[in-house]
Amino acid sequence: MNQKVRSSGEPGNDQPINLCLFTDSLEPSGLGEHMLTLAADFLERYCILFVCPPSQHGNELLRRAETLGCTPFVLEGENESDTYARLGQALLDADIQIFHCHAGIGWEGHLGIQTARAQQVPAIIRTEHLPYLLTDPAQRAAYQNLIAQVDHFVCVSAEAYASYLDTEIPHDKLSVVRNGIRAPFAPSDRTGVRQEFGLAPTTQLVLTVARMTEQKGHSYLLDAIPSIVSQKPDVAFVWVGEGPQEAQLSDHMKRLGVDSDHLIFAGWRQDVPRLLGAADLFVLPSLFEGLPLVVLEAMARSVPVIATRVCGTTEAIIDGESGCLVPPRNSQALSEAILTALSDTQLSASWASNAKWRFQQEFSAQRMVSETEQIYQAVLKRNQPQNRRKKRQPGPRSPTHADGVARHRSPSRPANIGERQPERNPSWIASA
């Protein structure tokens, strides 16, 4: 691997910086895409250990990370203790200096952070991809105990940030870095997509991309479909995603008398940009979010968006200007908004145009990567002088598994930590 020495942010101190991007989420959908977006840019300057547990989607995420150039680490072992002993050894072998944990909800990521702290990793960052939702006293207590082990917390939206102000996280350890994506590209294939789903070329296609869980609110959209179809018989709803509520939603669909010509369960797809390019409307009926990446994808593809007025989504969509927001759990409001958008194509085209401009101004991957790197720099600058790690005794190495994939390898490409300060938190950067 080509060696390039980059600045660590300390004057006169050039040394390699190794980064671990970590999640223990078993369904790392939007969270995983966020990690890949960071990795794709950071690989020019960092050497990345990419950690994720095995699952259908986790294995695909690791495959894509390895294709980018990351070193994949499958978070598994004979038991929990063995799993995290292996992780600790990997962090030691790779000389990880930044451990960036990505959590889908508050109870995720604790053991990874504790392992990184035990290995004296100089900078431990945790990104919260959802607002603070913990209600169980034991889970809340465990989260409070975690706070001291994390150097800095990042929230993906301002509304998520506000929810964490009620925890015991010191305000100077909490920042907002809004989600950003690279604009997805796929050739427009309106006719081909409709043919694939057995639809007429003139069918108005309403797309939803979301895991089939209670959080995503599919049932409220399903309850709206009969009234929409009665007035717009040439409309078809295409739902992309899988999840524990799929069978329940299918049964509910039959009870409502909605046929497969008007609601198509498309399963898990890897061609979402192509489907967005064929859609007349994108609908996301979530009950809560952090800042949904798929809404940003729709905005970038100039697809008009109807979504619920929930955390994060309200920061992406300006109601009546760059899309339409309705109250969550409100099927009638969804029905009325969808019928309006499908009937008034001039209005929906205006939403789409404004949304694309807003995406370009506010939600680029470059902005997200830059703000994240500034946090890395500030935490390293603050922590490294007093937290130089002592030489540790290596533990047992993880073997290469039967599939030929090494569960960890030591990164060797160094990194570049930039000089620019983040705009959102000047007080803590100034004191770093």
At residue 414, the pLDDT reads: 30
Within a domain: 137: yes
Q: Which residue type, as a one-letter code, is found at position 410? A: S
The domain that contains 283 carries what CATH number?
3.40.50.2000
Within a domain: 2: no
**One domain, residues 408 and 302:** no
* Dihedral angle over CA of 112, 116, 122, 128, nearest 10: 10
Q: What is the DSSP letter of 271?
A: -
Tell which of 313, 341, 362 closes a domain.
362
**One domain, residues 254 and 139:** no
Coil, strand, or helix at residue 247? Answer: helix
By residue range, what is the domain housing residue 197? 190-362
At residue 14, the pLDDT reads: 55
Question: Over pLDDT 90: what percentage of the chain?
Answer: 81
pLDDT, tens digit (0-9, with 9 covering 90-100), for 385-429: 555 454 444 443 433 343 433 444 333 333 332 332 333 333 333
**One domain, residues 370 and 346:** no
Q: What is the DSSP letter of 17?
A: -
At residue 29, the pLDDT reads: 86
Question: Based on the structure, what is the number of domains in the chain?
Answer: 2
Tell which of 337, 362, 387 closes a domain.
362
pLDDT, tens digit (0-9, with 9 covering 90-100), for 100-113: 999 999 999 999 99
At residue 32, the pLDDT reads: 96
**One domain, residues 387 and 347:** no
Say how far apart CA 265 and CA 242 lie, in whole Å.
9
Q: What is the mean pLDDT of the chain?
A: 88
> Tens-digit pLDDT profile for the chain (432 aa)?
333 333 344 434 556 689 999 999 998 889 999 999 999 999 989 999 999 999 988 999 999 999 999 999 999 999 999 999 999 999 999 999 999 999 999 999 999 999 999 999 999 999 999 999 999 999 999 999 999 999 999 999 999 999 999 899 999 999 999 999 999 888 889 999 999 999 999 999 999 999 999 999 999 999 999 999 999 999 999 999 999 999 999 999 999 999 999 999 999 998 999 999 999 999 999 999 999 999 999 999 999 999 999 999 999 999 999 999 999 999 999 999 999 999 999 999 999 999 999 999 999 999 999 999 999 999 999 987 555 454 444 443 433 343 433 444 333 333 332 332 333 333 333 333
Within a domain: 225: yes
**One domain, residues 150 and 260:** no
Count the alpha carbons within 13 Å of 242 in the hemisphere toward its beta carbon.
9
Within a domain: 28: yes
Say how far apart CA 142 and CA 148 lie, in whole Å.
11
At residue 385, the pLDDT reads: 57
**One domain, residues 154 and 226:** no
**One domain, residues 233 and 288:** yes
**One domain, residues 169 and 202:** no
Within a domain: 71: yes
Give the full edge-to-edge strand order of the sheet including 281-284.
263-267, 235-240, 204-209, 281-284, 305-308, 324-326
Structural contact between residues 389 and 122, judged by C-beta atoms closer than 8 angstroms: yes
**One domain, residues 285 and 300:** yes
Within a domain: 171: yes
Pairing relationship of beta strands 98-103 and 71-74 according to DSSP bridges: unpaired
Tell which of 329, 362, 395 closes a domain.
362
Within a domain: 1: no
* Torsion sign across C-alpha atoms 29, 311, 223, 189: negative
Coil, strand, or helix at residue 235? Answer: strand
Within a domain: 9: no
**One domain, residues 113 and 208:** no
Phi/psi of residue 402, nearest 5 degrees: -60, -25
Which residues, 6+ apart, have CB-to-CB distance to 282 below 8 Å? 206, 207, 208, 209, 276, 294, 295, 298, 303, 304, 305, 306
Q: What is the DSSP letter of 386?
A: G
At residue 16, the pLDDT reads: 60
* Dihedral angle over CA of 42, 43, 48, 54, nearest 10: 100
**One domain, residues 402 and 330:** no
**One domain, residues 145 and 225:** no
In the structure encoding, which two tokens stand for residue 284, read together? 């996301």
